[in-house]
Structure 1
Amino acid sequence: MCRVSTFVALLRAVNLGSHARLPMARLREMLGELGWQQPRTYLQSGNAVFTAPLGAEEVAVALREKLAADGLPTEVMIRTGEHLHALACAGHPFAAPGVEHPKLQVAFPLQPVDAQRVAAMPIPDGEAARAADGEVFLHYPDGVGRSKLTTAHLQRHLGTPVTCRNWKTVCALAQMC
């Protein structure tokens, strides 16, 4: 008998302005076409939760190929539901009273990143980044829109594509699992 696991797909750079448009109904449809069960999406930014009888790498490859065949070549970061749930339960390391959820982000790298590499990364004054559990936790006290610690900056210094989600989204996806 095959083990079925819950997965979270985090699509990179989807539905940002007019760039890489993908209706979430189409994403759910695509997940179903792959034979995966219980496809659900959250917001319009390429977040999906579903079950599949495959391993994480097989899921990532299949979904990336399906998206490319549908005209949307993009990176897909796959995490297990167990992993996302554990992240949410552990809490964001920069969470504190008065810190708003949008100022707390998690960068999900395509490839694992070394904690020392994150620690050596140039970080703008007042902001913070810390590697934990395979992800990079970020704090933007003045908001993401004002930061120089962008996704492009992270990718350049980490050497792998990343996609970021705010803490509220991470917790909502964990709850969906």
Structure 2
Amino acid sequence: MPAYIALLRAVNVGGTGKLAMSDLREMCEAIGFTHVRTYIASGNVVFESRLGEAAVRQQLEARLEAYAGKPVGVLVRTAEELAAVLKANPFGEAAPDRTVAIFLDTPPAADALSGASGVNSEEMALGPREIYVHYPDGIGKSKLKIAAAKNGTARNMNTVAKLLEMAQA
């Protein structure tokens, strides 16, 4: 059975989108997902399902909207796709806690980075359905805004590696 990783947008970040990870696990189990595990309180869930990626996303988004009373964005990757994201990280020599993959639903446009504002020391690169960003001075000090990333969700490389480890277990 395929292993999936679901990444929720704007959950338990900055006081918005409150969601207990125990509630998220229960929602996933109610849908019929198996071997459900969450990682940290920012909306990361690993599970198995016979459903395809689109159906997994649709069912989880519907359940989350019923729970929250508003849409909650969900980005889904298979374990194989997450392994490819980690392997393709163009900033592999950089500190993993200062490098993120911004996960998107669709491939970013070739010019997705040209409209970025607030660029200082950050480095950016495009992936198949990701935007990679290295923040040498730390993400907390950055003023970087990437319009193409508006509907995405970012995870640092430490989190990506841990989620992959969980999905492969």
Please confirm whether the aligned pair reaches a TM-score higher than 0.5, indicating the same fold.
yes
Letter in 1 for 2:84: A
Consecutive unaligned residues of structure 1, counting only runs of 5 or more, are none
The residue that corresponds to 1:170 in the other structure is 160
Partner residue in 2 for 1:135 = 130
The residue type equivalent to 1:79 in the other structure is: R
After superposition, the CA RMSD in angstroms is 1.6
SS at match of 1:121: coil
Amino acid at match of 1:164: A
Equivalent position amino acid for 1:117 in 2: D
Superposition deviation, residue 53 in structure 1: 0.9
8 Å CA contact 1:109, 1:135 repeated in 2: yes
Is the CA contact (8 Å cut-off) linking 2:104 and 2:149 kept in structure 1? no
- Contact residue 110 and residue 160 of structure 1 kept, 8 A: no
How many residues end up aligned between the 2 structures? 165
Given the two structures, how large is their TM-score scaled by the length of structure 1? 0.86
Per-residue CA distance 1:39-79 (angstroms, 9 max, x = gap):
01111100001011111111111100000111252100011
- 1:107 & 1:83 partners in 2: Cα distance? 14
Q: Tell me the distance in 2 between the aligned counterparts of 1:21 and 1:78.
A: 20
Match of 1:117 in 2: 111
Residue 48 of structure 1: aligned partner: 45
SS, match of residue 7 in structure 2: strand
State whether residues 4 and 79 of structure 2, in contact with CA within 8 Å, keep that contact through their aligned partners in structure 1.
Answer: yes
Change (3 A) 1:134 1:111: closer
Select the residue among 11, 14, 20 that pairs with 1:14. 11
2:148 pairs with one of 152, 155, 158: 158
Q: Scaled by the length of structure 2, what TM-score is found? A: 0.90
Shifted more, 120-129 versus 41-50: the winner is 120-129
Unmatched runs of 5 consecutive residues or more in structure 2: none
Say whether the 8 Å CA contact 2:102–2:149 is kept in structure 1.
no
Structure 1 residue identity aligned to 2:60? L
